[in-house]
Structure 1
Amino acid sequence: MLAVPTGRDVRAISATPAVAARFAADIDSGVLYGTPSLEDYIFGRLKISRAEALAVPAVKRARDLICGGIGQFPLILVGPDGKPVEWSLLSQPEAGVARSVSITRTVEDLLLSERAWWKTTHVGWHNRPAEVVRLDAETVTVQPKYVTYPEGTALVWPDVPGLIRIDSPNGGLLTASTAIKAYILLSRIALRAADGVPPVDWFEPADGADPIGIPEGDETQEEADARAIGELLDAWYAARQARITAYIPAALKYNRDGFDPEKLQLAEAREFAITEIARLTGIDAEDLSVSTTSRTYFNAQDRRRSRIEDVLGPYMTAIEGRLSLDDLTPHGYRVVFDTSSYLRLDDQAAASTDATLIGAKVLLPDEAREKRGLEPLGLPAPAPADRPELPAAAPADRPELPAVQEETSNA
């Protein structure tokens, strides 16, 4: 808050008699320095953009881990027989764009904007899409409508031919995250402090001065005060933009409530905002460079599996489910992500697993070599291990039926 006394110029301020100040105003720091205030973010007066969100290091890191992680998984079309089938849409959705980039950007739309949009540009296999172009989620003009039924109201999306909509199971971060907005504000405050702008400052009349506005024409005293304070602030703002320190008139006293260097960086507040972002995205806080005092131990593979199940899984399932619908794939086909390379074991564990599967006749040696990219040897399947035969089960002792029952049966 900035309490600023009125005054048209230095001469007018200095010439006034020494009485108490007649006017004061509370000026938001966002108005003074041209930056958004906290209330602008909290009450939604300023909508956060994708560029602003990705400028936050924690959001950028979470985006890379989630979207980039899913983008590296190949998409496979599985037929009714359980075998993979070639489909150009899954190998390269967009012309001139790598598949991993297209999927990464699609997941980014789901993460930030809640839904992603593809536009079909070519039709091929089974009269299904063979090539698409990803649309900017913020520019799509298709909007849902509320439809009323006797049982209630539903939000229904119109069916637009050639337009593929992929919905996120979670809300978009751009509209549901106060933590991102708070971090942006804290960063702005820290940057202003680095430029020499204090977080709180104000003017007050110097001893022996009573700065007020001088009415002109039909102006009232209140109108003159408002005009004078505006002129003063405009001159102060222009001087601050041109120089690090602005000139202070002799009739004014400048006050500032400064922070020490540690507080100026707002380290604790920004670290708390990062922790909130970690909770929003599901990413481990340590992956966003926030130290945690206690945690459950996981090895590398367990952490990867946990990340797929808890963080990546909802977005992957949404994409798999949408691409597997009958309007995109023939009935009986389904689209799945191949996560085998991401969850692969270390060499010793993989060799032990292959040996167990080969010994159980679940896997052939050549099949195990094929997984490792080796040429088949043409070896026969291993003979079953010699096992001692189980003794034949002895007949259970059964009591003979009474003769009277036999007679009754014969009768």
Structure 2
Amino acid sequence: MGIFSWWRTVEQAERFATLQPSRALASPFAGESTLSQAVVLDDVFRAKVQPVTRAEAMSVPAIARARNLVCGVLARQPMKAYRGTDPLPEQPTWLTRSRYFPPRLRALWTIDDCIFFGWSLWVLDRGAADTSGRRPILDAYRVDPARWKIDQGRVIVTDRTGQDFTVPDDGYVLIPGPSEGLLTIGAETIRAARDLERMWMSRVKNPTPIVELRYTDIDAAPTEDEARDARATYIAARQDPDGVVMVTPPGLEVVTHGDKGLELFVQGRNAVSLDVARFFNMPASMLDASQVNGSSIDYENNAIGRSAYYDITLRTWALPIEEALSQDDVLPAGQYAAFDLSALTTPDAGTGPALED
């Protein structure tokens, strides 16, 4: 690896270390491959808040759908090596085969890393040097974000036994995403979406609008303890399966104050979907979101939305991986890697794009 290639990897590593806090170890499938739960200082409100985790983000329906639309579709498209406009007649085997992890799932979780964390790491198996001194790549393994870190410009990976080891400079590919990651740039949106979902669930349990228990008889005004008991009795009655029918004592009137909350839930959830679509660079209609409150999305030209999804959304997330795998220390000079998206522009026969065995 030449001095400039070494500088590139170190510069990327230092940028990652600057942007990302340390993280605890976790299984890649346990939903814990997220930022550590240390309390941080919010830049806006100057208050202590918990970092957003990937599991919390995926609990937001709009984010889960957007993630699946990007990862699921893009990972199914074959990654190929090209020279000029033509695929190489003999493709690098590590693009389509791996003894560590199924290649399409490797691509899926790499895209997932770029979406949520802004970075992904592949550790490389290299063969013996050829006559030019180049060590060809034999295999590549995507490392869960919870199992690697940057320490003084070096990539440190923690294995399954908890042991740390330093990856050689030519033993990894660091893939930067198109942004700092959804857990960073979308933290406030994720928190707001989760709060909205909690409020929505609470409203399902108690669908009646804001309620006031009003005593109409001034002479029978209750004491503080009596008012508190009346409130607790009413809440318990509403939570009872038969709570739709109740009896109020003389002098007590049940007054409801509008139903603005329902409108807030509908518009708020639509707004969350719109914001998520913007984060993913995705047509809002794909997340069932309307650009105009109260309007139907049926009028939207589906052909335009489909074209924008292929040409803008998928290519936005494909670009970082393609560029990282096209570097001269990954593929020989004059070659580059790219997803073959041609299958997306032709009718699907049900088998998906043609893939290497």
TM-score, scaled relative to structure 2: 0.59
Q: Where in structure 1 are there 5+ consecutive unaligned residues?
A: 1-38, 146-157, 212-231, 246-254, 348-371, 373-411
Partner of 1:336: 338
Alignment equivalent of 1:89, drawn from 85, 94, 119: 94
Q: Is 2:191 the counterpart of 1:189?
A: no
Structure 1 residues 161 and 67, CA gap change in structure 2 (3 angstroms)? same
Structure 1 residues 66-105: aligned runs within 5 Å: 66-79=70-83, 82-84=86-88, 85-92=90-97, 94-95=98-99, 97-105=101-109
Alignment equivalent of 2:111, drawn from 104, 107, 112: 107
**In structure 2, what is the Cα distance between the partners aligned to 1:83 and 1:272?**
43
* CA deviation map 1:27-79 (0-9, x unaligned): xxxxxxxxxxxx99975611111111111111011111112221111111124
Partners of 2:210 and 2:258 within 8 A in 1: no
Partners of 2:62 and 2:272 within 8 A in 1: no
Partner of 1:173: 182
**In structure 1, what is the Cα distance between the partners aligned to 2:208 and 2:123?**
50
**One-letter identity of the residue aligned with 1:77:** A
Shift of 1:199: 9.8
**One-letter identity of the residue aligned with 1:318:** P
Partners of 2:75 and 2:104 within 8 A in 1: yes
**In structure 2, what is the Cα distance between the partners aligned to 1:345 and 1:198?**
49
Structure 1 residues 238-277: aligned runs within 5 Å: 260=259, 263=262, 266-277=265-276
SS of structure 1 residue aligned to 2:150: coil
**In structure 2, what is the Cα distance between the partners aligned to 1:132 and 1:257?**
62
**One-letter identity of the residue aligned with 1:281:** F
Shift of 1:319: 1.0
SS of structure 1 residue aligned to 2:123: strand
**In structure 1, what is the Cα distance between the partners aligned to 2:147 and 2:208?**
39
**One-letter identity of the residue aligned with 1:133:** Y
SS of structure 1 residue aligned to 2:277: helix
Count of aligned pairs between the two proteins: 259
Partners of 1:109 and 1:116 within 8 A in 2: yes
**One-letter identity of the residue aligned with 2:271:** F
**In structure 1, what is the Cα distance between the partners aligned to 2:207 and 2:312?**
43
Shift of 1:305: 3.7
Q: Is 2:173 the counterpart of 1:164?
A: yes
**In structure 2, what is the Cα distance between the partners aligned to 1:198 and 1:45?**
32
**One-letter identity of the residue aligned with 1:46:** Q
**One-letter identity of the residue aligned with 1:330:** P
Shift of 1:282: 1.7
Partners of 1:123 and 1:131 within 8 A in 2: no
**In structure 2, what is the Cα distance between the partners aligned to 1:273 and 1:194?**
19
Shift of 1:298: 4.7
**In structure 2, what is the Cα distance between the partners aligned to 1:95 and 1:346?**
29
Partners of 1:190 and 1:265 within 8 A in 2: no
Structure 1 residues 141 and 171, CA gap change in structure 2 (3 angstroms)? closer
Structure 1 residues 89 and 266, CA gap change in structure 2 (3 angstroms)? same
**One-letter identity of the residue aligned with 1:181:** R
**One-letter identity of the residue aligned with 1:315:** W
**One-letter identity of the residue aligned with 2:315:** G
Q: CA RMSD in A?
A: 4.3
Structure 1 residues 333 and 55, CA gap change in structure 2 (3 angstroms)? same
Q: Identity of aligned pairs, percent?
A: 23
**One-letter identity of the residue aligned with 2:269:** R
Partner of 2:31: none
Shift of 1:258: 7.3
Structure 1 residues 8-407: aligned runs within 5 Å: 45-79=49-83, 82-84=86-88, 85-92=90-97, 94-95=98-99, 97-121=101-125, 123=127, 127-142=135-150, 160-177=169-186, 178-196=188-206, 260=259, 263=262, 266-292=265-291, 293=295, 298=301, 300=303, 303-344=305-346
